Amino acid sequence: MGDKGVAVGPDPLSFEQVVAVARGGAEVVMTHEALRLIGEARAHIEELSALPRPVYGVSTGFGALATRHIAPEMRDQLQLNIVRSHAAGSGPEVEREVVRALMLLRLRTLATGRTGVQPVTARTLAAMLNAGITPQVFEHGSLGCSGDLAPLAHVALALIGEGFVRDAEGELKPAATALREAGLTPVKLAAKEGLALLNGTDGMLGMLVLAIQDLHRLITTADIAAAMSVEALLGTDRVFAADLQDLRPHPGQAVSAANLRALLAGSEIMESHRGPDCTRVQDAYSLRCTPQVNGAARDTLAHAELVAGRELASAIDNPVVLPDGRVESNGNFHGAPVAYVLDFLAIPAADVASMSERRTDRMLDKARSGGLPAFLADDPGVDSGHMIAQYTQAAIVSELKRLAAPASADSIPSSAMQEDHVSMGWNAARKLRNVVDGLTQVVAVEILTAARALDLRRPLRPGPATGAVVRRLRDAVPGPGPDRYLAPEIAAAVELVRDGALVAAAEAVTGPLA
């Protein structure tokens, strides 16, 4: 567990807090305000539960069965049944960080006092997070409407001591066993609670927040890769000048161009071809238009952050308990706002990868590389150099283009046409995770290739910033030479991209890159 606790109350969580709990294992602490609001809302639910008039989710069935009145003696069983029946996920197990994000975000909605759960239910969910107990959630089962029902149901199932979980060490065991070992008592659900635990967009939102963090790092890394490739290909940095970029005042474009200028400053390689003997009028689009593409990706990311921030300030349940005691049905569980930006982010991520692959291919083509050996091979013909590394990039880029097609444009009606339009936001989120992983790999191959090309430009030296990136890479991957087993080198480069080590190396010279 992390050392720094995250306070969970009615106020919005920050991106950093979500990531700290999901990835860093930070502990959570329920605020006094949260417990007060939860208690007040619970009192309203218990009062309504005693009345004869029907209240959705309290004294009626769910979805298409909402017209069925449930007798008082069956209402606790109703809540238990919805958890058991909705825990119907299938396929591969969802990653621990995603499940922890989902749990935290559902806890935060409970903390707003708009759901009507018992205080003990919220406290037990918080305790599960702190004990490192992660319910087993599966890939398939959410339509992204009425919330991420199946994924959240698997969490609720663990909360009542059923199903399976992974403990803090990752061991799979029955939920009842893990709760007992952690000193926790399974929750006994009462009126409204099963529904309150299931009805949220927490899974897709959690994956959006995690993707936003990853894409911030990856787009900066893509700027670094592009700078290295421009340098290796004897390109020009004049096109990145601020006055040229200001003619098209997109904020992301300005940031990317500023990064490129900082990264290429002081390069002997760049200086070597600035004179009158240089006959190249302009570079290919994959070099020259880097700020426009990476910048547009940044602007798309900024829009996604705006939407995610609004969602982090939301209380999503159906029905909701209002401060005056009313319990009202609503449509806030619909995942469209999140689904759209999840799909939107996949498009620029795929395109940034596509441009990265094109720069790599240019460095390997003797006719276009400005004097570099074919495929950067030690002895072209005997050696193949990075030929097949580019194939790997191309295979991934092709897959990313397919994954850029929107999931949210589809809808399959469910629940006997009561839920006749759904968002498919969970699918969009799962797809985006694959896109982020693919972009990581593609950018890593470009950096691996560009570093080799820069080494082959010796005795000319790259700029201090790009040179620092090459040196950091060389801690894990040797320099040019005869052909060798390449997959471990790609894997090492991928890890350096994923953990931010290459960005840190560049920033040690340039200062913070945006």
Please give the structure tokens belonging to residue 247. 């003619």
Q: How far is 474 from 501, CA to CA, in rounded Å?
A: 12
Helices (H) and strands (E) in the chain, counts: 20, 9
Q: Rg of the chain's alpha carbons, rounded to an integer? A: 26
Q: How far is 470 from 454, CA to CA, in rounded Å?
A: 8
209 φ, ψ (degrees, to nearest 5):
-60, -45
Burial class (CB within 10 angstroms; exposed 0-12, middle 13-18, buried 19+) of 379: exposed
137: helix, strand or coil:
coil
Q: How far is 298 from 290, CA to CA, in rounded Å?
A: 12
Residue tagged active-site, from 56, 285, 391, 485? 56
Q: How far is 191 from 178, CA to CA, in rounded Å?
A: 26
Q: How far is 48 from 60, CA to CA, in rounded Å?
A: 12
Contacts of 46 (CB under 8 A, 6+ apart): 190, 191
DSSP secondary structure string for all residues of 350-386: HHHHHHHHHHHHHHH-TTTTTSPPGGG-SSBTTB-TT
CA atoms within 13 A on the CB side of 75: 23
Amino acid at position 182, single letter: A
Q: How far is 499 from 132, CA to CA, in rounded Å?
A: 23
Q: Characterize 112-143 residue by residue with b for buried, 16 or more Cβ atoms within 10 angstroms of its Cβ, and e for exposed.
A: bbbbbbbbebbbbbbbbbbbbbbbbbbbebbb
Q: How far is 371 from 33, CA to CA, in rounded Å?
A: 67
Please give the structure tokens belonging to residue 98. 């995603």
Given the DSSP bridges, would you call strands 138-140 and 90-93 parallel, antiparallel or unpaired? antiparallel
Rounded to 10 deg, the angle between the 425-456 and 202-232 helix axes is 20
CA 136 to chain centre: 19
SS3 track for 271-294: HCCCCCCCCCCCCCHHHHCHHHHH
Could you give the strand order of the β-sheet that contains 134-135, starting from the edge strand earlier in sequence?
134-135, 164-166, 172-174
Q: Is 485 among the catalytic positions?
A: no
Q: Are 337 and 59 in contact (CB under 8 A)?
A: no
Active site residues: 56
